[in-house]
């Protein structure tokens, strides 16, 4: 029996509201994150991701009170990321009700953070988020919400994150983000073949066929999207029914 593929709405949070942009810029408001999260839970989303998208850049901590409100309102697993720099941040967010934490910039700067999280709380709690852009015939990882390029490649860093104990890789293609032309399926497939942990596809969803391609061509274990859900372009029940009819194993409500 194949594991069900997961549909994960992502809520980028800035100053307490959900925002969405294109290629990581030109942000526009999409509503209250707690209310949106509750709606997606009711519609059949498998998980949710809440990212404080400016936390690393501005040196802030993720809003713990929002996490508490989300935990009170929804009954599906959710991941929180943004501004997680040390194990105390993880403890605080898990105590507030988060099921998993997503680490990105801080883990790239200090890879031992992944070891610390997984040693204390287990691999299932640690999602390693990777923002990468295809530059000069290679995928390079970026820091601080896509602002600073590093010399680490996507494959190199994803393998190291797995080796350090990360439970999942959340790969966002900066080239595809918000453009709605489909996921970076070639890179996703390469990641899936090289790693043993689940790969979450992110960046590029524009129509329901893109999700199908991510699961078949890209071999992703989960597909994450934002604007197509936030702006009512794709309804989660319709998406899951479509995938089901195409033979993709999904959890139907």
User: Active-site positions?
Assistant: 12, 131
Buried (b) or exposed (e) across 146-177, using 16+ Cβ within 10 A?
Answer: beeeeebebbebbebbbebbbbbbbbbbbbbb
> What angle do helix axes 208-216 and 185-194 make, rounded to 10 degrees?
30
Chain length of the chain:
253
Pair of tokens at residue 171? 């790969």
Would you state the structure tokens that stand for residue 91, as one six-digit string? Answer: 């403890």
Structure token digits, residue 110:
């200090």
Q: Report which of 28, 105, 16, 112 is spatially closest to residue 59, judged by C-alpha positions.
A: 105
Give the whole-angstrom CA distance, residue 204 versus residue 133: 13
What's the distance, CA 156 to chain centroid? Answer: 19
């Amino acid at each position: 029996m194949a594991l069900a593929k997961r549909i994960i709405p992502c809520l980028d949070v800035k100053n307490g509201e959900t925002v969405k942009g294109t290629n990581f810029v030109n942000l526009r408001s999409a509503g209250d994150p707690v209310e949106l999260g509750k709606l997606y839970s009711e519609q059949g989303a498998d998980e949710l991701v809440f990212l404080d998208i400016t936390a690393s850049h501005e040196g802030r901590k993720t809003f713990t009170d929002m996490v508490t409100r989300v935990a009170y309102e929804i009954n599906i697993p959710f991941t929180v990321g943004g501004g997680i720099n040390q194990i105390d941040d993880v403890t605080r967010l898990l105590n507030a009700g988060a099921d998993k934490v997503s680490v990105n910039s801080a883990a790239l700067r200090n890879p031992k953070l992944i070891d610390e999280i997984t040693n204390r709380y287990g691999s299932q709690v640690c999602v390693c988020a990777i923002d990468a852009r295809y530059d000069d015939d290679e995928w390079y990882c970026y820091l601080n919400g896509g602002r600073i390029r590093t010399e680490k490649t996507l494959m190199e860093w994803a393998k190291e994150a797995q080796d350090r104990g990360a439970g999942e890789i959340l790969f966002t293609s900066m080239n595809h983000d918000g453009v709605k032309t489909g996921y970076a399926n070639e890179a996703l497939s390469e990641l899936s073949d090289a790693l043993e942990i689940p790969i979450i596809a992110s960046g590029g969803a524009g129509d329901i066929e893109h999700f199908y391609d991510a699961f078949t061509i890209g071999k992703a274990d989960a597909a994450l999207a934002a604007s197509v859900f936030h702006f009512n372009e794709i309804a989660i029940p319709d998406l899951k029914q479509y995938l089901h009819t195409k033979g993709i194993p999904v959890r139907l409500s």
